[in-house]
Amino acid sequence: MHARREIEDAILRYCRGVDRCDGDLVRSAYHDDGHDDHGELFRGTVAEYVPWVLGLLRDRFTSTMHTITNLSVDVDGDTARSEAYCIAYHTLDTDAGPSLRVFGCRYVDKFENRPPVGWRIAHRRVVAEWQVEHQGRMVGLPSGMLTGRRDRTDPGYA
């Protein structure tokens, strides 16, 4: 159970890191020599991946929210395989007006337990399943609410 919890924590750190555009947090989910495979869009080391993905998210979208649903983990000694279902929400401005793009994918990961850092991603493959886009009038946030930020000034860091 301890291994599963550390693996789940790493996956959730990754999601928070990409949503807050926090490169250090994204990197903390991977081993230093970890690899990421987003198909033809990107394949490479975590050192190459972090600036690529954060640049993409900042340039294309006004906000994102990555959520994890189903999670399966199979631990075998100091290695593990996991599959996490992700639904990622992306807001963006288009020529037709504001839009919400919702992307369904799976994170198919190989984890390794390496002391002293513990369980982290050694290799990730992102498997796309579907994507929909909703266009229309974006409604304002409730008056007086705290709002999310895509950096370390976000209330979640307080």
Q: What is the pLDDT of residues 72-131, one digit of tens each?
A: 999 999 999 999 999 999 999 888 888 999 999 999 999 999 999 999 999 999 999 999
What's the confidence (pLDDT) of residue 74? 98
- Which pLDDT tens digit goes with each residue over 15-50? 999 999 999 999 999 999 999 999 999 999 999 999
pLDDT at position 129, please?
A: 97
Retrieve residue 92's tokens: 């963006």
Lookup result for tokens 């007086």: 144
- Say what the pLDDT of residue 95 is: 84
Backbone torsions φ then ψ of 6, nearest 5 degrees: -65, -40
Residues 6+ apart with CB under 8 A from 45: 33, 34, 35, 36
Domains in the chain with CATH codes = 2-140 (3.10.450.50)
Local structure of 39: helix, strand or coil: helix
The secondary structure of residue 151, as a DSSP letter, is S
